[in-house]
Structure 1
Amino acid sequence: MRSFISSYFFLFLYNICNGQQNFEVPKATVEVFTPKGLRVSIPDQDGIKLFAFHGKINEEMNGREGGTFSRDITKAKNGRWTFYDTQAKLNVGDILYYWTYVDYFDGERKLGYARDDEEFVVKELLPKPGASTTSTTSTTTTPRPTPETRFPDNECQNSVTTVGNKNQCKGNLIFSSDFSNLKQIRNKWNVQRKFATEPDYEFVIYEDNPQTLSVQNNHLIVSPILTESVYGFLDELDLGEKCTGLRGTSECYQRAIGWAIIPPVISAQLTTKGKFSFKYGRIEIKAKLPKGNWLYPELYLNSESEKYGPGYQSGQMRVAFLAGNDGANTKLKGGVILGQTYQARNYAMKTYEASEPWTNDFHNFTVLWKPESITLSVDNTVYGTIFPPEGGFSSWAARSRLSYSELWKKGTELAPFDTEMYLVVGVGAGGHNFEDGQLNSKPWINNQPKSQKDFYYARNSWFPTWGRNAQLEVDSINIWALD
């Protein structure tokens, strides 16, 4: 605020004293660093006494307002007047809107000059100043700092973030997936081959099928299809040795009996279970969510160890979730699931309603997972922060008469979200993620043996809504250690 008032004060004096501008504020150089950092500077010139920077990310300035970034720089260093914010987090594609101001002494008086309506599109992220870089003449790479690799200047400082139960360096990028091709994807991800069962009982078979899982234009594409389009009519299906579920259970083999039919939808799901898990961090997923009746994105974090028990006993974190139905796809949700009851599914979920469907375009979905809280945001706008109640989530679970509340008491107040978790990416259809009575057109009732069959028999009402936009498109996933 001081910078904002100061800038306007001197600009006001200028407007009174001088009607003819005889100095032009130099064009600023903007640099954006990975994993964090924003530097804006102008060259030093004789007569410059102060440089001020005011800016916003992905939001135009309302005239000469203070902005998200607002600072006076009173001294030039190394030949430049420099604004530097080490914590600013920008991504490729973001737009920085800004204006700059200079106090200039012309030999007789000090006057104020502004450069308005500037913008900068982030096209690349630069190595952070002082970070080790790889020589272009060498075939070896400089290892990323880790707790086991100390540097003379103590560049690596331990974060509360862990990967494989080992502390990471503050601010480090600990996971990145850009989905350039399926071969690279399979190195980091497990492609599921199983029937969906508890806890959501979605009406889906997850398979490794080019019709449901592909890469296009460096995007991961998950496209749900009808089972009958692949197998025709089925009365049983055995996924055999390729099954990634628990052998000898309904995750690997199912038979149609009476009202119980083979799941009517084939989709795809990927996880990092056994390959990458972490505790605490900043998760960012750039994706376009699926549109279509009774579809939903699976952008989850699940417990690696299931320390507190199977399924939702060990919790689930949802980075972004919504129903693909028209009228419902304007309501983005994120947060944590504490159990299968209605209260446990909704107590710690946050909603952000927009005027347009969230399925229309790509968005940046972010979760900031700290030891004391979980914060949800989309496109740099925070829409909810979850704090455990007094006594932790275990106290809420006890009041809700959940049988596993005593287990959570053995952890922190954030338990069960105090253990390492792995990533899940996919598309689900139907099942218990849609509460009875939630939408008037819902053609099935949860917990009934014929629910899957009722859903299938209503396909003429919902399948026509599954156009090209029914697919989940993921551009990138990045995770950083906490500072």
Structure 2
Amino acid sequence: MSSRTSVHAPGVLDTNPFTTPLRQSRAPSISDHSASGRPHSYFPTVSSSEPQVRKRKFKTARLVPGEYDEKPWALEKHPKLRWERAIFYGSCGLGVAIGAFICYQAYSSVTNHDYCLVMSDDFTTINKDAWSFEVQRGGFGSGTFEWTTDDPKNAYTDAEGLHIVPTLTTESTSISKDQMMDNYVLNLTTDGTCTAEGIDECSIRSNKTAGTVINPVRSARLTTKGKKSIKFGKVEVVAKMPQGDWLWPAIWMMPEEDTYGEWPRSGEIDLAESRGNHGDNFTSGGRDSIISALHWGPLPEVDAFWRTSGQHQIRRTDYSAKFHTFGLEWSEDYVFTYIDSRLLQVFFIKFNKLMWDRGSFGKALVNDSALYNPWVQTGQKNTPFDHPFYLILNVAVGGTNGFFPDGVGNKPWGNESPTAPKEFWDSMANWLPTWGEGDKRGLTVKSVKMWKQGGC
């Protein structure tokens, strides 16, 4: 990079505004020192008697003086500018007005039904007028591994509310490990405790050769069947989910009567289901995720829940950390579930077509046979979700229906294995340490409220 130096004759003032100094400077002399011997500022103060060199305003040499006006565009405002401003601000105002109108339309279109409270429980105790225990060991059609009881170790209340807590069978009964594995008969019908009717639901014999074991875990399942139910209305459950591998907490509803036939012909409504596993192990989430769904179809093989389901995941925490409100709003025209408020919907289904058509069941074949429409007689678009449903609270363990997919999260059993409960039990050293202590491994329910649609 080159530089140029201006050279002037002695005594000639440099008129270049870039090289002209503001004031003449000189080197400090002895006289510049104060009495203390310290020098004054390196640049001495210029006295008023010394000549001042004025700093001149920079002027470009590219323009000939007098030929151009300064900022000619500012001397007269062009008429187009006024129209441009009018169009801009008018468009902004119109946009705000349209947005406000759309918000108002959306707000005014929200349906707000009248509701009548039919149940309110804060669980100071387990109210037998509202709740019943389902006692069996057959897996409830999902192949789960727990034996549900009315044991106070598995369901109890305290200052926090209701706790549904799974326990090891060897810890909460007199059954030993050896008996659980071989030559022991569990018969809940003989005990007079079984609430189911089938043999497999109420009894089992352990056999080491066959790999058949007594249910390794006990838990609880409470329902309002025959006591509290609604046909259209609203439900809110304030609860905290459990933590622990292969725990399956659920807040859901089933029909009071099999009006249209066995499951899933008469429907099922899941408000909130979760997995106790850490969420990193599942693409569809663990205890950081809540799943809601409607189950429906003419046969179990074609359950169309995947068409009417939703999921919500939270970050940096999970649903076992604190209480949340899990809600349902259900009418003749729609059904949706939500978390904490109606603004956070997990899924929304509008009954705007026949459920048979929604599921495309007319095009499906099972075992090379066409399907029968179990809802054709009603002609209603919301069938089978048009009859009374009751509420269920439970914590299941494991299962072979696919809720826990094979090969995910170091799952120790296979869904098609005839010895899945034994495979689960054999891996206890891996999953038991993940279960929280005390009631942390359980579903904690602070309150339940249920309303029917309409006036009281």
TM-score using structure 2 length: 0.65
2:237 touches 2:325 (CA, 8 Å); kept in 1? yes
Letter in 2 for 1:266: R
Alignment of 1:246-395 (within 5 A): 246-247=196-197, 249-257=199-207, 258-327=210-279, 328-338=286-296, 340-341=300-301, 344-355=304-315, 356-380=317-341, 381-388=344-351, 390-393=353-356, 395=358
**Structure 2 CA distance for aligned equivalents of residues 219 and 206 of structure 1:** 20
- Offset at residue 435 of structure 1 (A): 4.3
Letter in 1 for 2:290: L
Q: Deviations over 1:277-336 (max 9, x none)?
A: 221111100000111111121211011111122232322111111111001111211121
Moved over 6 A (4+): none
2:398 touches 2:404 (CA, 8 Å); kept in 1? no
**Structure 2 CA distance for aligned equivalents of residues 265 and 439 of structure 1:** 22
Q: Deviations over 1:368-390 (max 9, x none)?
A: 11112211110112232023573
Cα distance change of structure 1 residues 387 and 217 upon mapping to structure 2, 3 Å threshold: same
Percent identity of paired positions between Structure 1 and Structure 2: 26
**Structure 2 CA distance for aligned equivalents of residues 192 and 227 of structure 1:** 17
Cα distance change of structure 1 residues 88 and 476 upon mapping to structure 2, 3 Å threshold: farther
2:164 touches 2:220 (CA, 8 Å); kept in 1? yes
Letter in 1 for 2:324: H
Cα distance change of structure 1 residues 342 and 313 upon mapping to structure 2, 3 Å threshold: closer
- Offset at residue 407 of structure 1 (A): 0.4
Higher RCO, 1 vs 2 (CA within 8 Å, ≥6 residues apart): 2
**Structure 1 CA distance for aligned equivalents of residues 371 and 392 of structure 2:** 24
1:301 touches 1:317 (CA, 8 Å); kept in 2? yes
Alignment of 1:10-409 (within 5 A): 170-182=114-126, 185-217=127-159, 219-229=161-171, 230=173, 231-232=175-176, 233-234=179-180, 235-239=184-188, 240-247=190-197, 249-257=199-207, 258-327=210-279, 328-338=286-296, 340-341=300-301, 344-355=304-315, 356-380=317-341, 381-388=344-351, 390-393=353-356, 395-396=358-359, 397-401=361-365, 405-409=372-376
Aligned length: 320
Letter in 1 for 2:203: Y
- What secondary structure, in the 3-state scheme, does the structure 1 residue paired with 2:374 have? helix
- What secondary structure, in the 3-state scheme, does the structure 2 residue paired with 1:479 have? strand
* Residues 1:410 and 2:377 aligned together: yes
2:205 touches 2:213 (CA, 8 Å); kept in 1? yes
Larger radius of gyration: 2
- Offset at residue 434 of structure 1 (A): 2.1
Q: Which runs of 5+ in 1 are unaligned?
A: 1-65, 71-84, 90-158, 160-169
- Give the corresponding residue for 1:107: none
Q: Deviations over 1:202-238 (max 9, x none)?
A: 1110011111111011501010011122222333201
**Structure 1 CA distance for aligned equivalents of residues 289 and 238 of structure 2:** 18
Cα distance change of structure 1 residues 388 and 461 upon mapping to structure 2, 3 Å threshold: farther
228-237 or 216-225, which deviates more: 228-237
- What secondary structure, in the 3-state scheme, does the structure 1 residue paired with 2:237 have? strand
Cα distance change of structure 1 residues 391 and 248 upon mapping to structure 2, 3 Å threshold: closer
Q: Which runs of 5+ in 2 are unaligned?
A: 1-99, 280-285
Structure number having the greater strand percentage: 1
